[in-house]
Amino acid sequence: MSLWIVIGVILLITLAIVVIPLLRGNTASVADHDAIVYQDQLIEIDSDVERGLLSTTEAEALKIEINRRLDKTETDEASGFAAGKFQLSYVIAIIVIIPLAALGLYQHLGSPKKPDLPYASRSFTPPSSQAKADAEMTRLVDALQKRMAENPDKLDGWLLLGRSLVTMKRFQDASNAFKRAFQLDASRADIAASVAETAFMAAGGKFDREARNYFQQAQKINPREHKALYYLGLDLAGQKKYGAAIQLWVDLIAISPVGAPWLDSVRKRLVDAAKAGNLKIADFPPRLEAPISSVPGPGPTQDDVKAAQDMSDQDRQAFIRSMVARLAERLKSTPEDIDGWRRLAGAYQVLGETQKAAAVKARIKILANKLNK
């Protein structure tokens, strides 16, 4: 009799673990954020190839893996939506099915009177190709972690490690890797946002003080940081501060490039917030304009770049230097444009003007410290 009492207690605990989260529900759709993360990863892979961090073969392998996980995330999100609609029915079904299934399984396998199964009759499933791919990815990440332990000052290495860990859904480890990268370059809003985003994902789609702090730092460094605008809006909407959330999302849409992977999700949440707060989106004009780099001005346009391809080497060098000079002149009137200063430092580096590049980098550090205060 005491055995059945113990079994009953274990069954009640199991049901509580399974049912309570279903009744409470998540504060945010983890699948939705997974999709945005993976879409961003695809964009970052192309950037890593251009900078020489990844070979074309490695990039294609990563894209295949990320697209597979993205497809699975979209499937999970669709099924999750349907599940949420009939959540109470599922809870009732679980309460009935789990005890009956456990009892049936015990009667079949757990009875002390049942003989042991012969070893030869036990089924064995060889590892799938996906399991092999996961094992290979784990091996590569472990090797990268060892290299970073030996070379902890390599910024690009920490970024690559963080992105790889995101692909494996090891979000807490990814957040720690991005933190190390941010310690090396505290002027980059995108890194601060990645720290916060992965911390948010590690917490199961919930905001804590650390995630909020890093998102706020990211927005302070760069008011146009798209991840910071999206997630800070999400946090505000979760607190029922719908007006503030709508304003951030309107700003985000205003500065986003055409076809940005996060736009569909932002527009959906914008409409939901307006309905929940009984507000009109039209009452919230954007406070931000499109980035300067996407507006004709002192920087080179697409036509300029095409024209430069037909120039002689000497003329091309003169053209590039004129473009850099125009950028430097513009920054005199916008001295807090940290992204512009970073582009200028990179341009000087490409031109071989290391002293000017070093001077601009020093200015970036001073500006970053000022913005972080």
Residues 25, 93 share a domain: yes
Residues 363, 306 share a domain: yes
- Give the separation between CA 68 and CA 70, rounded to whole angstroms: 5
Residues 313, 284 share a domain: no
Residues 238, 321 share a domain: no
Residues 348, 285 share a domain: no
- What are the tens digits of pLDDT across the range 295-311? 334 444 444 554 455 55
Tell which residue, 315, 330, 321, 325, has the closest CA to residue 352.
321
Question: Taking the CB of residue 269, how many other CB atoms lie within 10 A of it?
Answer: 20
CATH number at residue 331: 1.25.40
Residue with tokens 């992204």: 339
- What are the tens digits of pLDDT across the range 207-243? 999 999 999 999 999 999 999 999 999 999 999 999 9
- What are the tens digits of pLDDT across the range 237-258? 999 999 999 999 999 988 887 6
For the chain, how many structural domains are there in total? 3
Tell which residue, 33, 11, 2, has the closest CA to residue 234.
33
pLDDT score of 299: 47
Q: Which of 271, 290, 309 is the last residue of a domain?
A: 290
Residue 81 pLDDT > 50: no
- Does 187 map to a domain? no
pTM of the model: 0.52
Residues 301, 281 share a domain: no
- Give the separation between CA 172 and CA 224, rounded to whole angstroms: 25
Return mean pLDDT, the chain: 75
Highest-pLDDT range among 23-27, 84-88, 324-328: 324-328
Domain residue limits at 52: 2-75+88-103
- Does 182 map to a domain? no
- Two tokens, residue 269: 């949440």
- Residue 368's pLDDT band (cuts 50, 70, 90): confident
